[in-house]
Structure 1
Amino acid sequence: MTEQKFFAQPNETEWTELAPGNTRRVLIYTPEVMQVEFGFDKGAVGALHSHPHIQVSYVAEGSFEVTIDGKTQVVGQGGSFIVPSGLVHGVVALEKGRLVDVFAPHRADFL
Protein backbone atom coordinates (compact mmCIF):
# COMPACT_ATOMS: atom_id res chain seq x y z
CA MET A 1 0.00 0.00 0.00
CA THR A 2 1.26 3.49 -0.87
CA GLU A 3 1.98 5.82 2.04
CA GLN A 4 -0.61 8.60 2.44
CA LYS A 5 0.62 11.98 1.21
CA PHE A 6 -0.31 14.80 3.60
CA PHE A 7 1.41 17.78 1.96
CA ALA A 8 1.89 19.09 -1.58
CA GLN A 9 4.26 21.78 -2.83
CA PRO A 10 3.68 23.67 -6.11
CA ASN A 11 6.90 22.45 -7.75
CA GLU A 12 6.07 18.77 -7.18
CA THR A 13 3.56 18.34 -10.00
CA GLU A 14 3.78 19.04 -13.71
CA TRP A 15 1.27 21.02 -15.74
CA THR A 16 -0.53 19.11 -18.50
CA GLU A 17 -1.76 21.00 -21.56
CA LEU A 18 -5.40 20.11 -22.21
CA ALA A 19 -6.10 22.46 -25.12
CA PRO A 20 -4.56 25.71 -26.34
CA GLY A 21 -4.56 28.10 -23.37
CA ASN A 22 -5.84 25.48 -20.92
CA THR A 23 -3.62 23.55 -18.46
CA ARG A 24 -4.13 21.30 -15.43
CA ARG A 25 -2.12 19.87 -12.57
CA VAL A 26 -3.26 17.47 -9.88
CA LEU A 27 -2.09 18.87 -6.54
CA ILE A 28 -3.02 16.16 -4.03
CA TYR A 29 -5.59 13.39 -3.62
CA THR A 30 -6.93 10.44 -1.68
CA PRO A 31 -9.53 7.95 -2.95
CA GLU A 32 -12.25 10.18 -1.45
CA VAL A 33 -11.18 13.65 -2.64
CA MET A 34 -8.84 15.38 -5.11
CA GLN A 35 -7.53 18.95 -5.47
CA VAL A 36 -6.65 20.15 -8.98
CA GLU A 37 -5.41 23.50 -10.32
CA PHE A 38 -6.46 24.67 -13.79
CA GLY A 39 -4.80 27.52 -15.69
CA PHE A 40 -6.59 29.47 -18.44
CA ASP A 41 -5.42 32.09 -20.90
CA LYS A 42 -7.89 34.88 -21.68
CA GLY A 43 -10.66 33.46 -23.86
CA ALA A 44 -9.80 29.81 -23.13
CA VAL A 45 -12.78 27.51 -22.71
CA GLY A 46 -13.49 24.67 -20.32
CA ALA A 47 -16.01 23.00 -22.64
CA LEU A 48 -19.45 21.98 -21.40
CA HIS A 49 -19.30 18.50 -19.87
CA SER A 50 -20.59 16.43 -16.95
CA HIS A 51 -19.18 13.79 -14.63
CA PRO A 52 -20.42 11.81 -11.60
CA HIS A 53 -18.08 13.65 -9.20
CA ILE A 54 -19.14 16.56 -7.01
CA GLN A 55 -16.98 19.57 -7.91
CA VAL A 56 -16.26 22.66 -5.84
CA SER A 57 -14.27 25.41 -7.59
CA TYR A 58 -12.46 28.46 -6.22
CA VAL A 59 -11.39 31.30 -8.53
CA ALA A 60 -7.79 31.88 -7.44
CA GLU A 61 -7.10 34.41 -10.18
CA GLY A 62 -9.04 36.10 -12.97
CA SER A 63 -12.70 36.09 -13.89
CA PHE A 64 -14.81 33.36 -15.50
CA GLU A 65 -18.19 33.05 -17.14
CA VAL A 66 -19.48 29.90 -15.49
CA THR A 67 -22.42 27.85 -16.78
CA ILE A 68 -24.01 25.17 -14.61
CA ASP A 69 -27.18 23.36 -15.68
CA GLY A 70 -28.01 26.11 -18.19
CA LYS A 71 -27.53 28.98 -15.71
CA THR A 72 -24.65 31.40 -16.37
CA GLN A 73 -22.94 33.84 -14.02
CA VAL A 74 -19.63 35.70 -13.93
CA VAL A 75 -17.47 34.59 -10.99
CA GLY A 76 -14.38 36.65 -10.16
CA GLN A 77 -11.27 36.21 -8.06
CA GLY A 78 -12.15 34.97 -4.57
CA GLY A 79 -15.51 33.57 -5.70
CA SER A 80 -16.59 29.95 -5.72
CA PHE A 81 -19.09 27.65 -7.35
CA ILE A 82 -20.29 24.09 -6.81
CA VAL A 83 -21.35 21.54 -9.42
CA PRO A 84 -23.50 18.67 -8.15
CA SER A 85 -22.96 15.23 -9.62
CA GLY A 86 -24.07 14.81 -13.22
CA LEU A 87 -24.86 18.45 -14.09
CA VAL A 88 -23.57 19.90 -17.37
CA HIS A 89 -21.10 22.73 -16.73
CA GLY A 90 -18.27 24.70 -18.30
CA VAL A 91 -16.33 27.97 -18.13
CA VAL A 92 -14.94 30.71 -20.34
CA ALA A 93 -11.95 32.72 -19.05
CA LEU A 94 -12.80 36.41 -19.35
CA GLU A 95 -9.16 37.14 -18.50
CA LYS A 96 -6.11 35.05 -17.68
CA GLY A 97 -6.97 33.03 -14.59
CA ARG A 98 -6.71 29.97 -12.39
CA LEU A 99 -9.30 27.71 -10.80
CA VAL A 100 -8.64 25.40 -7.87
CA ASP A 101 -11.11 22.53 -8.03
CA VAL A 102 -11.93 19.85 -5.49
CA PHE A 103 -13.57 16.64 -6.69
CA ALA A 104 -15.26 13.95 -4.59
CA PRO A 105 -14.46 11.20 -5.10
CA HIS A 106 -11.09 11.65 -6.84
CA ARG A 107 -10.97 11.69 -10.64
CA ALA A 108 -9.12 8.55 -11.67
CA ASP A 109 -9.15 9.83 -15.27
CA PHE A 110 -6.78 12.66 -14.18
CA LEU A 111 -4.12 10.27 -12.89
Structure 2
Amino acid sequence: MTARIFAPAGKGAWTTTPDGNRRRVLLHTDELMLVEFGFDRGGVGALHSHPHVQASYVAEGRFEVTIDGQTEILAAGGSFIVPSGLVHGVKALEAGRLVDSFTPHRADFLG
Protein backbone atom coordinates (compact mmCIF):
# COMPACT_ATOMS: atom_id res chain seq x y z
CA MET A 1 0.00 0.00 0.00
CA THR A 2 1.17 3.53 -0.68
CA ALA A 3 0.94 5.46 2.57
CA ARG A 4 -0.15 9.08 2.78
CA ILE A 5 1.90 10.73 5.50
CA PHE A 6 1.15 14.44 4.95
CA ALA A 7 -2.24 16.09 4.51
CA PRO A 8 -2.19 19.81 3.67
CA ALA A 9 -5.32 21.66 4.87
CA GLY A 10 -8.24 21.38 2.47
CA LYS A 11 -6.75 18.54 0.41
CA GLY A 12 -8.49 15.27 -0.22
CA ALA A 13 -11.75 14.50 -1.97
CA TRP A 14 -15.00 14.31 -0.02
CA THR A 15 -17.17 11.28 -0.73
CA THR A 16 -20.77 10.70 0.30
CA THR A 17 -21.24 7.98 2.90
CA PRO A 18 -24.03 5.39 2.65
CA ASP A 19 -25.96 7.25 5.38
CA GLY A 20 -25.80 10.60 3.51
CA ASN A 21 -22.93 12.28 5.35
CA ARG A 22 -19.45 12.94 3.90
CA ARG A 23 -15.95 11.72 4.58
CA ARG A 24 -12.43 12.18 3.35
CA VAL A 25 -9.43 10.07 4.13
CA LEU A 26 -6.70 12.40 5.35
CA LEU A 27 -3.79 10.02 6.01
CA HIS A 28 -3.16 6.31 6.19
CA THR A 29 -0.62 3.57 6.64
CA ASP A 30 -1.32 -0.14 7.05
CA GLU A 31 -1.51 0.34 10.81
CA LEU A 32 -3.40 3.63 11.17
CA MET A 33 -5.87 5.84 9.29
CA LEU A 34 -7.14 9.39 9.90
CA VAL A 35 -10.54 10.31 8.41
CA GLU A 36 -12.62 13.50 8.58
CA PHE A 37 -16.42 13.18 8.59
CA GLY A 38 -18.84 16.05 7.90
CA PHE A 39 -22.44 16.09 9.13
CA ASP A 40 -25.35 18.41 8.53
CA ARG A 41 -27.63 19.12 11.49
CA GLY A 42 -29.65 15.97 12.17
CA GLY A 43 -27.22 13.77 10.24
CA VAL A 44 -26.92 10.26 11.60
CA GLY A 45 -24.02 7.84 11.60
CA ALA A 46 -26.13 4.69 11.96
CA LEU A 47 -25.37 2.15 14.66
CA HIS A 48 -22.72 -0.28 13.44
CA SER A 49 -19.62 -2.17 14.54
CA HIS A 50 -16.27 -3.09 13.01
CA PRO A 51 -13.11 -4.86 14.13
CA HIS A 52 -11.06 -1.64 14.06
CA VAL A 53 -10.34 0.37 17.21
CA GLN A 54 -11.61 3.91 16.64
CA ALA A 55 -10.68 7.15 18.41
CA SER A 56 -12.71 10.23 17.51
CA TYR A 57 -12.32 13.97 18.10
CA VAL A 58 -15.21 16.42 17.77
CA ALA A 59 -13.64 19.16 15.65
CA GLU A 60 -16.84 21.19 15.28
CA GLY A 61 -20.48 20.97 16.39
CA ARG A 62 -22.31 18.85 18.97
CA PHE A 63 -23.00 15.14 18.69
CA GLU A 64 -25.07 12.56 20.53
CA VAL A 65 -22.68 9.60 20.68
CA THR A 66 -23.82 6.07 21.55
CA ILE A 67 -21.30 3.31 22.31
CA ASP A 68 -22.41 -0.12 23.52
CA GLY A 69 -25.79 1.28 24.66
CA GLN A 70 -24.32 4.25 26.58
CA THR A 71 -25.09 7.74 25.22
CA GLU A 72 -23.26 11.01 25.87
CA ILE A 73 -23.47 14.45 24.26
CA LEU A 74 -20.09 15.78 23.17
CA ALA A 75 -19.25 19.24 21.82
CA ALA A 76 -16.23 20.61 19.96
CA GLY A 77 -13.08 19.56 21.78
CA GLY A 78 -14.62 16.35 23.13
CA SER A 79 -13.48 12.88 22.15
CA PHE A 80 -14.31 9.20 22.48
CA ILE A 81 -12.84 5.74 21.84
CA VAL A 82 -14.71 2.76 20.41
CA PRO A 83 -13.06 -0.56 21.27
CA SER A 84 -13.06 -3.27 18.61
CA GLY A 85 -16.46 -4.82 17.91
CA LEU A 86 -18.68 -2.50 19.98
CA VAL A 87 -21.88 -1.16 18.42
CA HIS A 88 -21.73 2.62 18.07
CA GLY A 89 -23.24 5.56 16.19
CA VAL A 90 -23.72 9.32 16.28
CA LYS A 91 -26.35 11.97 15.65
CA ALA A 92 -25.34 15.54 14.78
CA LEU A 93 -27.27 17.92 17.06
CA GLU A 94 -25.88 20.74 14.90
CA ALA A 95 -23.72 20.78 11.78
CA GLY A 96 -20.28 19.46 12.64
CA ARG A 97 -17.17 17.47 11.91
CA LEU A 98 -15.55 14.43 13.50
CA VAL A 99 -11.92 13.43 12.97
CA ASP A 100 -11.62 9.67 13.42
CA SER A 101 -8.57 7.46 13.64
CA PHE A 102 -8.76 3.73 12.96
CA THR A 103 -6.32 0.94 13.65
CA PRO A 104 -5.68 -0.94 11.55
CA HIS A 105 -6.65 1.18 8.52
CA ARG A 106 -10.12 0.85 6.97
CA ALA A 107 -9.44 -0.76 3.60
CA ASP A 108 -13.15 -0.28 2.73
CA PHE A 109 -12.61 3.51 2.78
CA LEU A 110 -9.84 3.33 0.16
CA GLY A 111 -11.63 1.59 -2.69
TM-score above 0.5: yes
| TM-score (norm: length of structure 2) | 0.93
**Are the counterparts in 2 of residues 10 and 27 from structure 1 also a CA contact under 8 Å?**
no
Distance in 2 (alpha carbons) for counterparts of 1:109 and 1:45 = 19
**Are the counterparts in 1 of residues 5 and 28 from structure 2 also a CA contact under 8 Å?**
no
* 1:67-100 Cα deviation digits (max 9, x unpaired): 0000000011000000000000000000000000
Structure 1 segments of 4 or more deviating over 2 A?
Answer: none
- 1:40 paired to 2:47: no
SS of 2:108 mapped into structure 1: helix
The count of residues paired between Structure 1 and Structure 2 equals 109
Distance in 1 (alpha carbons) for counterparts of 2:67 and 2:51 = 14
Q: In the alignment, what sits opposite 1:28?
A: 27
Q: In the alignment, what sits opposite 1:96?
A: 95
Q: CA RMSD in A?
A: 1.2
Q: In the alignment, what sits opposite 1:67?
A: 66
SS of 1:86 mapped into structure 2: coil
Q: In the alignment, what sits opposite 1:55?
A: 54
Identity level (%) = 69
Structure 1's unaligned 5+ residue stretches are none
Q: Which moved more, 1:7-16 or 1:41-50?
A: 7-16
Distance in 1 (alpha carbons) for counterparts of 2:107 and 2:81 = 20
